[in-house]
Each structure stands twice: as structure tokens, then as C-alpha cells.
Amino acid sequence: MNLLLPVLFIFSSCQFSKGVKKDLVTGLTSSYNGFAVENIYLSVDGNKLNTNIIALGKQVVLIADGVDYYEVKDGKVYPGCRIILTDKAGKEILNLPDAFAEQTNGLEKDKAASLSATLTTGSPMQAGETYHLNVRFFDKNKKENEIVSNVDLVMKD
């Protein structure tokens, strides 16, 4: 007797990603959970950095490209960005809970595929000192979706 049993296959379109990226040249370490991300790097004056030594007065930009898997609400996505800068003793110099707070109307998904966090170096930072930069990009509609990046920056004159 040949008995055929029906088999039910369930496919779901899960949009989830998790991983770690490390830039051995700058020391930038990034982890992502929920989001997908293609590339994460540091930039100064529009150029990708090949060091973590930064001249005081320069703007350091952390860029995440190819960000995907946002929770879409009414055709829009709502990214957030927390920036924390500490000195070598762990004292907070900057704590910005959401650098994107003014984006209350959301963005088209394709416009949020590249995220950037900008840190302007200067007082009270001092040449010769090392500072820790922590940036967390997150989805305001799905807070567990995040990209967390950490790097030590050495200031120079």
C-alpha cells in the first residue's frame, strides 16, 4: 500500500539580517541586527579614512550604505541616530539621543538607504587625546533594528 501524505510548505518573506563588520585599518567595529547593511566606513572631507587619527576641527562622518529592512509605515521609514562621544576615562562629552529628531515626516525608503552621523571635532577635545565614538542607527518603528558602531579617534593638531 502506497500512502501519500500531503505536505504543506510554508514560505515567509522574512526581512532580517544580523552580523558584524570590522575595519582593521581604522578600528571601526559595527554590528547590525534586523537591518541589512552593505558597507560602513568613516570619512573626512568626502574621503574614506585609512586611519583613526583626525585633525582637530575636522568633521568625521560615519556612513552606513545599503541599509535595508526598515519597518515601513504609510510608505515612509523613520530612521534614528544616537551619537555618544566619551573621553578615555569614559566621561561623556556628547550625548545626542537622536540626531534625526527633526525628520518627523519620515523618508522614502530609498532615501534612507544611506545613513550618516557627523561629529565635528574641537573643544573640549584636545590634540594627543583618544576619544570613543559610539553611533547607533535605529528604526523608530522597530527599535530592535539597529546598527551600532564604535571607534576610538585620536586627535591631532
Residue, of 17 and 21, whose pLDDT is higher: 21
pLDDT at 2 over 50: no
Q: Is residue 104 part of a domain?
A: yes
Whole-number CA gyration radius for the chain: 20
- CATH code for the domain in which residue 66 is found: 2.70.50.60
For the whole model, what pTM was predicted? Answer: 0.88
Q: Is residue 5 part of a domain?
A: no
* Domain, as residue range, for 146: 18-156
pLDDT at 35 over 60: yes
Amino acid 17: pLDDT: 83
Q: Is residue 26 part of a domain?
A: yes
pLDDT at 9 over 60: no
